[in-house]
Structure 1
Amino acid sequence: MDAKLRAIYDAEWEWRQGEYARVKEGDRWVQGDRFSSETAEAQARRLAYWTDVLKQLDAIPMDQLSPEEQVNAAVFRQSVWENAKGLEYKTYEAPFNSDTFFWGGLNPRAGFATATGYRRFLGRMADIPRYFDEHTVNMRAGLARGYTVPRVGIEGRDATIEAYTVAGEANPFYDAFRTMPASIPAADQAALRADALRAIEVSVVPAYTKLLTFMRAEYMPKARTTIDAYSLPDGKQYYQDMIKVFTTLDLTPEQIHEIGLKEVARIDADMQKTMRETGFKGTFPEFLQFMRTDPQFYAKTPRELLSYVAYVTKKMDGKLKESFNLLPRYRFTIRPVPDEIAPIYTSGRGGLESCLFNTYDLPSRPLYNLTALALHECIPGHSFQAAVALEAPDRPDFRRQTYFSGYGEGWGLYTEWLGTKLDMYETPYEEFGRETFEMWRAVRLVIDTGIHTKGWSRQKAIDYLASHTALAQRDVETEVDRYISWPAQALAYKLGELSLRKMRAKAEAELGTRFDQRPFHDAYLALGSVPLPVMEAKMEEFIAAQKVRLAKPDKNPS
């Protein structure tokens, strides 16, 4: 049965690369010289393929697979199911939200290592008009049936298109060509730069200008004024399925809402305690106002904010040996969020290559949040996690590219809490910042389900988030708009963290004083991204194996 399963997922993975216009380079797939087809016909073809794959999986008895292939099957099934489910609801007819845009991220943060990489990028630049036109056709279809991003969730997002409507070297698409590897001959560099300027003039600027006109004149004025998922076509089932997509759990909106309320009450007590430890004599709302406005908590320059982050991440470097046995070799860098997206971008985001921190509107970027944010986004959070994945045990290609929010974001939030075990929070204010971040994720459970299933207004959600955290007003509004336009995505963080914290508590209880967090963390990260039920089952196996190992007498007593 193992061979039968491998044949299915190997074939699907190669087919998927072709569908999304990737090409083989050595032993990895990279972006080719065009973008994927986004037509309704292409989407229907993908849905038919994935529906058939799910039927093939149904024919394989899971109990006849080896343990490793059982994990592969669970990951593969969830991934294919998610892709198929999105196409069933035609989510491609609303291909962006307040946080993430199909027109963003097409220009890389850095250049390419080879001339071939640059030529492929030039090919993609030339393909932008076709790519945008297909998305526009889909969005018009969404408008016709009332399936759109809520208007309130996209106000101001059109501004993220403007920077790309500028011709010449000021266009962000030219940034990748400014500094090129010395291994590319000077004459070739000059030719590539000239080709880039032509592509910007002929393809990029006209496509973005056309898109901007469409967004402002047609899409935004006609986007729906409702904000809840339940008001969408088949909205109740849609929201339930999105819960499964983003959390990999079978929980109802009501169950999640109640979990959120309990977490909010617990964390609120912690925040009240920390406030008293600072010596502040006023009320909790007065303390929040103090934290939001006192100059001592805010950087005066972007460099100061980035330096604060650099200190935190380097300090954590010195703590890694206390938390992990496996330390990956790959290193990330710290960058400011690009100017063209900074006004509507979140405070920070981390990945393999870099961690981005927002230096726009510094009075909205409190320093006391940065320790928790750096742990979550950089180390030992997402950047560290991505580096570990590079050195993961050999597994199918699709496993290296699959990401489940509950697993990944649950880890990020867990690392914020882990910082309390490593003395990473140096002042009560930094601890309050961490608690604010934890509360922020707990409040999401209440707000997301409140908006999409209980008729909450945008203002009610804003007031609820603002009254429970010290987040700046800009962040509060940006976050609420994200929950409005991206149903259920924000549920993954807290539910994932609760799942991981539950497994750690079980390990501590069963292993007692012999519990060592280093192999526990190594075992979690070695799994790769998996659905939360699979994670819990595998960590149960880890705990059982540790109990057996620790029960054996030490052969070399000191």
Structure 2
Amino acid sequence: MHKNHKKRRRSVRLQRSVLSAALCALLLTSCAPASRAPQPTTAAPYEEETGADYEQLTENSLKEQQRFADLEESLFQDEISASRLDLHFLLKNPEGRGITKTDALIAPISMEAFLQTRNDQEELRKELSGFQTALLTDDQKLTLRILESLMNTEKKGEGLELYSQPLAPTIGTQAQLPMLLCEYAFYTRQDVEDYLNILEYLDTFYGQILSFEQEKADAGLMMSDTSIDHVMESCKSYLLVPGNNFMIDSFKERLNALPDLTDDAKKELCARNEAALEEHFVPAYKLLIDGLEKLKGTGTNEKGMCGYPDGKAYYQYLVYTATGTSYHSIDELMTATEQEISDNLQITSKLLSEHPELESMLDNYQYRQTEPTAIMEELKEQTLKDFPQLPECSYTLKDVPKALELSLSPAFYLTSPIDDSSQNVIYINRNPIYDNQPLYNTIAHEGYPGHLYQTVWFHTHCDSDLRKILSFSGYTEGWAAYVEALSYRLDNGLDPLLGELLEANSKATLGIHAYLDMAVNYLGWERKDVQKYLSSYFSDPESIADSMFETMVDNPANYLSYFIGSLEIRNMRETAELQLGDSFNTTKFHTFLLDMGNAPFDVIQAYFTTWLMNQKMGN
């Protein structure tokens, strides 16, 4: 039974998004349940200690472990009950965790809320420093290190709250929220009521965002007119046609699956939904469009993030937030990225020179499976070779509504609730602009052995509720990008040499995007610099230079989650393969990463060193 925490509710924002789109005997695997009574530490006492000394040590350890368990439970309760929207996606049965109410329908976006979060983070930082680490269990030590790393990263953004970007063309709040509303599951009649309340609150919430954008404009930190146009274009996708649209269709589908509702009740709820869409949802997007139009001309920075007064410092914060990297500086990251691009282009050059027939294959190749479900099932079978077997789970593959294809990513996975890993949804964007991204590899990224596989594994192998809601995009997107690259070389119907060529090309291309992300937002590259750089890799750089530049400006540090995260994993794998030689076991390596779970790489690296030592010793 959960305790009632009487202290003021904190909101340190440990989990960042419900869209996707965490020691063994010697510090390796498994998570101990934070909400259960902790066990004594397993360290043997020194020989010179008396029985009384040992009893005192054990008693002190138990007290410290219980104190940390109480903090974990408090943080979990505070974080997950901050908003009704987050709670619903993270927990199917909140009452089972003792949660009956939330602070808000949607987590607020305002300077007041950001500053309160900073105060709460400082309070947590002090609380974490007060624990005697040696007395905690191994799992608690890991959680403590993760929280400390997170707080150190958040410290980098202190005083830079106005640089936050809630609006962005494809990854902004205005683009993602409607898809969350479409997937808001109806388990009970109360869920329908909550959904309608959120829908009716949307114009108020977007008014909040506009007020924040006005503060940014007043401080000289507004986005450029070009970026405003991109966001406004995204908003226009949600000016729904009354009476027949994806928000109405999805509502009816969920309602029909809800038992014990009379036809009259369904009609009444459908009418309320349509009224909320007409009176609140569409007006909310009109409000954003009109408000942003009025803010045009206030943003004078046409460069990347470093073009703002403290933009370079904020970008550094974004980089470490997005990657959790073990690299010590952005300069180091840029050097490593250049090397990775070069290495993979050398592979492509070597393959094409030794096997010239591959060039003709590039124009016309096909995977054995081309339909989403068939691809998922084949990948599910393929993972048994180099990955631990996942517990049985279900999934649903859906197409992005046509009206939203230009506003959303090529594909995305919606994280399943932590108390029900059977609910897994993957959306696929069928717009022709994404035809150059093979569906096989996209589903590997989102499904098996990517986001779905990774999420279900951790949810079913870790008992710490707090660990399950911690979010580090460098780890999650890095894993997905890493396995996506591996999928080119699976038994998928491609010529093995062609798969190797496509894999190297994919890594190099992602690396180029990541390098430009840092060059535009950290070094201050302009359009002409981007075009000059691309001319080294593409025959027609003029056709893509502007869109590449604008993408980096609109979404600073976004590509780094994918590229730097996957680079960190490949670095560890290469180190393990080099040091272990023939005794390297791919499945054991993947199991280590999966068991570690969502964590920053500066923490994972220390545990990897221990894991590698254990592997050398044959443990």
TM range (shorter): 0.7 to 0.9
| Runs (4+) off by over 6 Å | 29-33, 469-477
Distance 1:463 1:425 in 2: 38
**Structure 2 counterparts to residues 331-346 of structure 1, below 5 A:** 331-346=394-409
Summarize the Cα distance change of 1:281–1:323 in structure 2 as closer, same or farther, 3 Å threshold: closer
C-alpha RMSD over aligned residues: 3.3
2:318/2:557 contact within 8 Å kept:
yes
Are 2:482 and 1:408 aligned? no
1:243 to 302, 308, 319: 319
Distance in 1, Cα, partners of 2:463 & 2:296: 47
Deviations 1:399-454 (A, max 9, x none): 11112122112212221343355334613555443333211222134212211232
Instruction: Pick from 419, 434, 451 the counterpart of residue 487 of structure 2.
Output: 419
Residue 601 (structure 2) pairs with residue 532 (structure 1): yes
The range that moved more, 489-498 or 402-411, is 489-498
Residues 319-346 of structure 1: per-residue CA shift (max 9 Å, x gap): 1211223313223333223323322433
Mapping 1:156-555, distance limit 5 Å: 156-166=230-240, 168-179=242-253, 180-185=256-261, 186-215=263-292, 217-249=293-325, 250-276=327-353, 279=356, 296=364, 307-352=370-415, 353-361=424-432, 364-366=434-436, 369-395=438-464, 397-419=465-487, 422-424=490-492, 426-427=494-495, 429-461=498-530, 464=533, 468=537, 480-549=549-618
Name whichever of 195-204 and 4-13 sits farther off: 4-13
1:115 shift after superposition: 2.0
Distance 2:409 2:368 in 1: 15
Distance 1:273 1:31 in 2: 61
- TM-score, normalization: structure 2? 0.77
Seen in structure 2, the aligned counterparts of structure 1 residues 27 and 417 have a Cα distance that, compared at 3 Å, is: same
**Residue equivalent to 2:70:** 7
Distance in 1, matches of 2:512 and 2:197, equals 44
- 1:102 aligned partner: 173
Moved more, 485-494 or 185-194: 485-494
In structure 2, the CA distance between the partners of 1:341 and 1:482, relative to structure 1 (3 Å rule), is farther
Letter in 2 for 1:8: L
Q: Is the 8 A contact 2:324 2:474 kept in 1?
A: yes
Contact 1:414-1:501 within 8 A present in 2 as well: yes
Aligned residues: 532
Q: Take 1:312 and 1:466, find their aligned partners in 2: how far apart are those partners?
A: 36
Q: Please give the alpha-carbon distance, in whole angstroms, between the structure 1 residues aligned to 2:115 and 2:152.
A: 15
Q: Is the 8 A contact 2:368 2:493 kept in 1?
A: no
8 Å Cα contact 2:149-2:603 kept in structure 1: no
Deviations 1:221-258 (A, max 9, x none): 43334222222232232222222212223532221221
**C-alpha contact 2:373 2:397 (8 A) present in aligned 1:** yes
1:68-88 Cα offsets, whole Å, 9 max, x none, are 111101222334455565563
Structure 2 Cα separation of the partners of residues 171 and 474 of structure 1: 35
**Counterpart position of 1:56:** 127
Residue matched to 2:17: none
Check 1:273–1:30 CA distance in 2 against 1; reply closer, same or farther (3 A cut).
farther
Call closer, same or farther: CA 1:162–1:446 in 2, change over 3 Å.
Answer: closer
CA deviation string 1:129-187 (max 9, x = no partner): 21111111100000111223344345333222224333533344323322121514233
Structure 1 residues 239 and 161: alpha-carbon distance in aligned structure 2, compared to 1, 3 A threshold: closer
Q: Is the 8 A contact 1:306 1:336 kept in 2?
A: no
Report the 3-state secondary structure (helix = DSSP H, G, I; strand = E; otherwise coil) of the residue aligned with 1:117. Answer: helix
- Cα distance, 1:381–1:258 mapped onto 2, change above 3 Å: same
Q: Describe the SS at the equivalent of 2:173.
A: coil
CA displacement at 1:2 relative to structure 2: 2.8
| CA–CA separation in structure 2 for the residues paired with 1:156 and 1:201 | 24
Per the alignment, in what secondary structure is the counterpart of residue 157 of structure 1?
Answer: helix
Alignment CA distance shift 1:472-1:230 (3 Å): closer
CA deviations on 1:262-318 (whole Å, 9 max, x unpaired) are: 111111111223444663698xxxx9xx96xx5x469xxxxx999444443332222
Conservation of the 8 A alpha-carbon contact between 1:157 and 1:344: no
The superposition leaves residues 98-138 of structure 1 with CA deviations (integer Å, 9 ceiling, x where unpaired) of: 33122233333445233222111001011112111111110
Question: Structure 2 CA distance, aligned partners of 1:297 and 1:470?
Answer: 22
What SS does the aligned partner of 1:165 have? Answer: coil
- Equivalent residues of 2:409, 2:429 under 8 A apart: yes
Larger fraction in helix: 1
Scaled by the length of structure 1, what TM-score is found?
0.85
Tell me if the contact between 1:465 and 1:476 (Cα under 8 Å) persists in the aligned partners: yes
Deviations 1:33-84 (A, max 9, x none): 8222333323322221122111222233434433211110122233445556
Q: Per the alignment, do residues 241 and 533 of structure 1 end up closer, same or farther by CA in structure 2, a change over 3 Å counting?
A: same
* Structure 1 residues 207 and 347: CA distance shift in structure 2, 3 A: closer
